[in-house]
A = this chain, B = another copy of it.
Amino acid sequence: MIVVMGKGVTEEQLDHLTGLIKKAGLKVHVSPGTTKTIVGIIGDESKIEKDVLESLDFVEKVMPIQKPYRRASREVHPDNTIVDVKGVKIGGNDVVVIAGPCSVESEEQLYGIGSRLKKMGIKVMRASAYKPRTSPYAFQGLGVKGLRIIQKVGKELGLVTETEVMDTRSVEEVAKHVDMLRVGARNTQNFDLLKEVGKVDKPVILKNGISTTVEEWLFAAEYIMNEGNNNVILCERGIRTFEPMTRNTLNLSVIPILKDVTHLPVIVDPCHAAGKRGPVPALSKASIAVGADGLLIEVHNDPEHALSDQSQQLRPEEFEKLYAQLRGVAKAVGRGLI
């Protein structure tokens, strides 16, 4: 950590600062200059809070040198993490396509969609039983009843399942019914929820918040990993920008950045960002080209009568066509596709 002070800093102030640093078990290197005085802190930066140093009125700026997250950092863990969810490997050479309806609506619905996906070769099915909806008047999901349907259909079709979890009180219940948990964009910094899913022995898909920075997102992963669950898969789902023509802006340029700073697998959800099905095929191809390890795509047999996300779910025939094209793009960048 580097601490910058103006030229007016007194001996006494400097002593106070270096005292604080030494008390934290860290070494100090002072460089007095003509316009600024610089103090370098040598040692493990996590031993002292940046905010404590910035609270000193004579300190102008504190600049960290080390990455503040550890378990999620590639600095600490240089090799890619490959998450194995019941034999399906996410983060390896094969791009993994996860597909299924936005919400589980009934056994018939899920079985119908699931069996079509199964036939195409899809291995992991998505479906939400708990729905975070902007409006309290919108469909809120089937809850526990939905979880049971997902479990039953998954078992019957031999599909790996994943679903969203929103409330600390239902983490255990959700983990009992599905193979992989998902934490959505509005809960990226719901720290109590992160701690709870960190205690579960199942992989967790962690979406970015619509305006979380990469650092905040990796800290959210760190919350989960710090409880013992290292099977975290990051999922880019769009960020909020100023553009009114799209619901959110899919941040494909974050993928190479993530690949650089973390060892965790990274997948992309192109549907929620787009908010409509039109751009989903182009965004899916670009996700693979930019280096994503997987895709999370909404597919519904009757989008118009779906109970949520009606306008962004692909029809099975649209998805089937896309799935074939994705294989070509994966091949062009040296990867397989499942």
Residues of A within 8 A of B (CB): 2, 4, 6, 29, 31, 33, 35-36, 38, 40, 42, 46, 49, 51-52, 54-56, 61, 63, 65-66, 68-69, 75, 132-138, 166-169, 186-187, 189-192, 195, 210-211, 213-216, 219, 222-223, 226, 238-246, 249-257, 260-261, 273-274, 276, 278-279, 282-283, 285-291, 303-304, 306, 308-311, 313, 325, 328-329, 331-333
Contact = CB atoms under 8 A, between A and B. Distances in A.
B245 A213 contact: yes
A249 B56 CA distance: 22
A135 B255 contact: no
A169 B166 contact: no
Contact of A54 (B136, B191, B252, B311): B311
A35 B45 CA distance: 11
21 contacts: A29-B31, A35-B66, A38-B65, A49-B310, A51-B311, A52-B310, A56-B304, A136-B223, A136-B226, A166-B191, A238-B253, A241-B242, A243-B251, A253-B273, A257-B279, A285-B290, A286-B287, A289-B289, A325-B333, A328-B332, A331-B332
A282 B293 CA distance: 13
A116 to B, nearest CB: 19
A88 to B, nearest CB: 24
A160 B167 CA distance: 30
A32 to B, nearest CB: 10
A2 B65 CA distance: 10
A133 to B, nearest CB: 7
Given A55-B303, A186-B190, 11 more contacts: A4-B65, A31-B42, A35-B66, A35-B75, A49-B310, A52-B304, A187-B190, A249-B249, A282-B289, A289-B290, A328-B332
